Structure 1
């Protein structure tokens, strides 16, 4: 754990410096105050949170107490009073402040404090107190064991790579005398600071080992609330993802249904196209082909009376087969050439004489004319005539 902490420390220090140097802390404080102002008055104190700093300063044998950022609104009391009386006077001056949030700061007079402005490297921002210890002998006429001190970063222009800081030091004799008096009165101090107007400067001259540790009773509640907020955030994210998944599943189901409907429509369209194509094909075949009855009628009209057919065939390709007997088979070619229904009449094989009938047995092959070829045939016939 220690090695991991040491490894992450530079990154954490960099993030801390960036946060302190950004306007976000002031914005968050302003925003929180605006949100609290929207709450009922009795709730504002409960949600105010944070430390409430109250300032004590000694002047002409009297103690003055007020809240930081507010003018003096309570009567001072003499430092010669008994401890219970001084505690009662302090309690009356700080009435209305939650004891859990109360922090007391002893404000020193400006004439009893030494202040020096320093220019330090940027990397020294998170170790200002250690830098102050090194610079004490060089920047002040005091030794380190003679003063209480602190350093605070200053806002303002500084050379690139450097920061402006202020060293504040007060003699131990002055601070110890006042701390001893407050200790005898039963008043515990959380910080030794300076006053800047109605507010505290924001430093603590006490060394870390003299700073009182406060147990925050709201820490567990804040941690529980933070955990609950994180849990609610995770639940909201989980619910959002669940809703998105359900919406996606519903959309996928709709797409699948639409795909099925589209497939059905495609199949129906394909069947319709096939049916239309088949019907068109049949219609074209019917239009392009010649009726067998017409062919028979044409052959009956053209073939001489001394010729008869024994066999007549027409196949699917329009091929016509004629088999029969004739007194003179050779002139049949000339007879059929003038036909408008068949073309390409030729004998297949050898013409033979049938001894039983004394006629010539023949077999002819021809081709049916299509309807597209009819005009050409007519044109050719007209030209021949």
Structure 2
């Protein structure tokens, strides 16, 4: 049954190593050699009579024969190198047999994977019959089990005196291995037991090329990171100039808008005053037109839109209707009772009315 909640444990380092190996065939052979990633191996196996040599490359495996550790074997090796110049560029790998080395599978705590070599050295006398200073050893992690919090480790080792004697014997007859591991299922070069004193000086070119490539990558990353920022900075400066120009224009427009609003306000104020304040000439003219014949005014007061008139008329009550019908007057009424003048026979009146601007009244002003 498929369990979707099972955690996925991915060893990134092992995955990248496998992926690099899978893609290595895409890299030209010359470039792989220049970078120190050549996959050609001259594999040597020591037996009682001498060395068995096998050539491993991308095309497969080719046995090269048996070489005795004497003058005859040395001459045979020289003839082989003359006939196969590519062997000079191949890595020489010495594979130890089970009689020359020991392989052991261990279970260690999960925390040991962070510093596997030191943990194995510390536990060497408990895990093997030897102490760590008596053997050359190498360890490789095979499996990782978070459930049990353990790792499976493969350990190979060989006594130092035995490997030193073997390497010195091979060197006498011109064989100088670059790598020492043990025969088994592990890939070529997965382990390396070769002591430091037998290692040949490394070719500096792979290191220099890798260093140059790393510097180039860092430079490209910096360029890719800085270039957009620099481009955006230039764009930001241009936009800032445009914003300054637009801000100046906006301020001018805002100033003009305020001036226009002030003018509109002043104009509306004048218009409102003109609408609210009746013209005295128009009011007197309208009052003259409204008053009927034989009506006399002997008093007139105007204050705060209120008009009070006094006079005599044959019919004072008719004046209220005449004045109220005018668009210049509203809310017309008597201020005091109407009285009769015995001398003239006319009615004395005192009428008050609210004066409005008849030119802006909804009632059309009468015209003669």
The CA distance in 1 between the partners of 2:151 and 2:80, in whole Å, is: 39
Asked if 2 retains the 8 angstrom alpha-carbon contact of 1:103 and 1:190, the reply is yes
1:198/1:291 Cα in 2 relative to 1: closer, same or farther (>3 Å)?
same
Asked if 2 retains the 8 angstrom alpha-carbon contact of 1:56 and 1:107, the reply is yes
Asked if 1 retains the 8 angstrom alpha-carbon contact of 2:42 and 2:53, the reply is no
Counterparts of residues 240-319 of structure 1 (less than 5 Å):
240-252=228-240, 264=253, 271=260, 282=271, 293=282, 296-305=285-294, 307=296, 319=305
- The RMSD of aligned alpha carbons is 5.2
* Structure 2 counterpart of 1:26: 18
* Structure 1 counterpart of 2:85: 95
* Structure 2 counterpart of 1:150: 138
1:125/1:48 Cα in 2 relative to 1: closer, same or farther (>3 Å)?
same
How far is 1:107 from its partner? 0.9
How far is 1:139 from its partner? 4.1
* Structure 1 counterpart of 2:70: 80
Deviations 1:196-233 (A, max 9, x none): 46942622234455545525233234323322332332
Mean Cα displacement is larger for which, 186-195 or 249-258? 249-258
1:66/1:205 Cα in 2 relative to 1: closer, same or farther (>3 Å)?
same
The CA distance in 2 between the partners of 1:145 and 1:278, in whole Å, is: 107
Asked if 1 retains the 8 angstrom alpha-carbon contact of 2:96 and 2:183, the reply is yes
Q: Which segments of 5 or more consecutive residues in structure 1 lack a partner in the other structure?
A: 1-16, 350-361, 376-385
How far is 1:240 from its partner? 0.6
* Structure 2 counterpart of 1:160: 148
Deviations 1:222-253 (A, max 9, x none): 32332233233223322210112233344455
How many residue pairs were aligned?
Answer: 337
TM-score (norm 2): 0.65
Asked if 2 retains the 8 angstrom alpha-carbon contact of 1:56 and 1:104, the reply is yes
The CA distance in 2 between the partners of 1:188 and 1:239, in whole Å, is: 51
Instruction: Say if 2:171 is the partner of 1:187.
Output: no
Instruction: Say if 2:356 is the partner of 1:366.
Output: no
1:297/1:119 Cα in 2 relative to 1: closer, same or farther (>3 Å)?
closer
1:163/1:300 Cα in 2 relative to 1: closer, same or farther (>3 Å)?
closer
The CA distance in 1 between the partners of 2:63 and 2:83, in whole Å, is: 8
Please give the secondary structure, in 2, of the residue aligned with 1:167. Answer: strand
Please give the secondary structure, in 2, of the residue aligned with 1:217. Answer: helix
Please give the secondary structure, in 2, of the residue aligned with 1:155. Answer: strand
Q: Which segments of 5 or more consecutive residues in structure 2 lack a partner in the other structure?
A: 1-9, 337-348
* Structure 2 counterpart of 1:338: 322
The CA distance in 2 between the partners of 1:244 and 1:98, in whole Å, is: 55
* Structure 2 counterpart of 1:202: 190
